[in-house]
Amino acid sequence: MKKMLSLIALAGLIFTAAPAAHAQYAWMSLQGGGVFPNGDFQDMADNGWGGGVGLGMFVHPMVLLKGSASYYSFGSETLLGKEIDGGYAPFEIGTNLYLGYFGSVRPYATVHGGWYVATGDFDESDFGLGFGAGLDIPIGSPNTSIFIEPSYNIVFRDDDNGFDDDVEFWGLQVGFAFTMLPPNPIQN
């Protein structure tokens, strides 16, 4: 039993010390793009647009932890003679897992989740998740890039009438990212 506890303690020490051994550096982004309703949500909303800002920290050269605030406005649809209009303002946290380099391009997988605040005729704010993939393409210097990120998003809605109509949509974001690299001790 003592060996098992010692191994667990050692593993915990290694996993908590490993990120500290890597230089952590900050990341900022500004993005915009389209949103495309899916499933039953297509009957209530049309394609729309969105934009937002993100802040993050690389905890490993291949792992970015990030948070973002965005706004998505969906185009209006007429449902039962009434025009429906609205959007969501998601406040999310997530991660990008970079999958290596292909030339200077960095593909990545992403997952995010958070609180989606409803606006307009949408009357609920609920928890949502999203996942996708992207390409990070450097421009100019090593700390500036553009990114292209398609994602699938779902907001878990619990209707007061007992019906569960989750809101599903595809997103396509294009953005500009800036990484604040740590100083290089060799250049000093």
Domains, the chain, ranges and CATH? 24-180 (2.40.160.20)
Compute the Cα dihedral for 61, 63, 67, 68 and give only its sign. positive
Which pLDDT score is estimated for 12? 53
Both structure tokens of 60: 């490993």
Percentage of residues in the chain having pLDDT higher than 70: 74
In this structure, the dihedral spanned by the alpha carbons of residues 111, 115, 119 and 122, taken in order and rounded to 10 degrees, is 90
In the chain, the DSSP E strands lie at 25-38, 46-60, 63-79, 82-98, 106-120, 126-138, 144-155, 167-180
Compute the Cα dihedral for 52, 58, 62, 65 and give only its sign. negative
Which pLDDT score is estimated for 9? 57
| Three-state DSSP state, 39 | helix
For residue range 30-72, list pLDDT tens digits in order.
999 999 988 877 777 789 899 999 999 999 889 999 999 999 8
Report residue 6's pLDDT band, with 50, 70 and 90 as the boundaries: low
The torsion region of residue 103 among left (phi > 0), alpha (psi -120 to 50) and beta comes to left
For residue range 131-184, list pLDDT tens digits in order.
999 999 999 887 899 999 999 999 887 765 444 578 889 999 999 999 886 654
Tell me which amino acid residue 80 is.
Answer: L
Check pLDDT > 60 for residue 112.
Answer: yes
